[in-house]
Amino acid sequence: MEKRVLVLNLDHYPIAVVPVQKAMVLLLMEKAQQLSTYELLEIRTVSRSFAYPSVIRLVHYKHIPYKGVLLNRANLFRRDRGQCQYCGSIKQLTIDHVIPRSKGGKTSWTNLVTACNRCNVLKGDKTLEQVGMQLRTEPFVPSLSYFLASYAERQAPEWLPYLDTAMLESSTK
């Protein structure tokens, strides 16, 4: 599997994850600087050899309007690490409104959690207090950095020094 490259803006804020070919073009055109490499990997041409980049930083600041992380099923499951937020199960997962819509609950990051079918049916159209249930973790609005740090833990530990991992660590406790 080809390793991906983390692209940081001039202010070190993560803005993209790109294939190594795109990263090499940015480096060779001197539009980016290499900050970190994957150890024991290199890119070879007929006449040269290059270190395999893992993190690069743009040379000039690019204004990119931040719209936030898209609220969808896949991202919600990713935030909740594929576990029911009531019992911890990983089977038959669905989405639950912590405060039911019938009681004024909104469809938002802070009111949606991953729940197994059993817990969702048990909770039904009631509040947590009414059924005596408790959330394992408080729902929060994830950042791009949070998702990148989650990916980096498994696939690219070289990225971790460049990402805000404080929220990731607090969500695993």
Report, as an integer, the average pLDDT of 94-118: 96
Q: Is 14 helix (H, G, I), strand (E, B) or coil?
A: strand
Does residue 173 form part of some domain?
A: no
Which residue is associated with the tokens 């990916």?
151
d(CA 119, CA 129): 14
Does residue 137 form part of some domain?
A: no
Report, as an integer, the average pLDDT of 104-119: 96
Using one digit for the tens of pLDDT, what is the confidence trace for 115-169? 999 999 999 999 999 999 999 999 999 988 888 887 887 888 899 888 865 444 4
117: domain range? 73-131
> In this structure, are 120 and 161 located in the same domain?
no
Does residue 139 form part of some domain?
A: no
* Overall number of domains in the chain: 2
d(CA 57, CA 34): 7
Does residue 78 form part of some domain?
A: yes
Does residue 36 form part of some domain?
A: yes
Does residue 170 form part of some domain?
A: no
Using one digit for the tens of pLDDT, what is the confidence trace for 19-69? 999 999 999 999 999 999 998 899 998 999 999 999 999 999 999 887 788
Nearest alpha carbon to residue 8 among 169, 164, 167: 164
> In this structure, are 85 and 55 located in the same domain?
no
> In this structure, are 15 and 56 located in the same domain?
yes
Which residue is associated with the tokens 């055109």?
29
> In this structure, are 8 and 43 located in the same domain?
yes
Q: In this predicted structure, what is the pLDDT of residue 167?
A: 46
> In this structure, are 48 and 85 located in the same domain?
no
Where do the H-state alpha helices sit in the chain?
20-28, 73-79, 117-123, 128-131, 144-155, 166-171
> In this structure, are 13 and 40 located in the same domain?
yes
pLDDT bucket at 173, cuts 50 / 70 / 90: very low
Q: In this predicted structure, what is the pLDDT of residue 153?
A: 79
> In this structure, are 52 and 31 located in the same domain?
yes
pLDDT bucket at 172, cuts 50 / 70 / 90: very low
Could you tell me which residues come within 8 angstroms of residue 42 by beta carbon, excluding any fewer than 6 positions away?
Answer: 49, 50, 51, 52
Does residue 138 form part of some domain?
A: no
> In this structure, are 93 and 55 located in the same domain?
no
For the domain that residue 125 is a member of, what is the CATH number?
Answer: 1.10.30.50
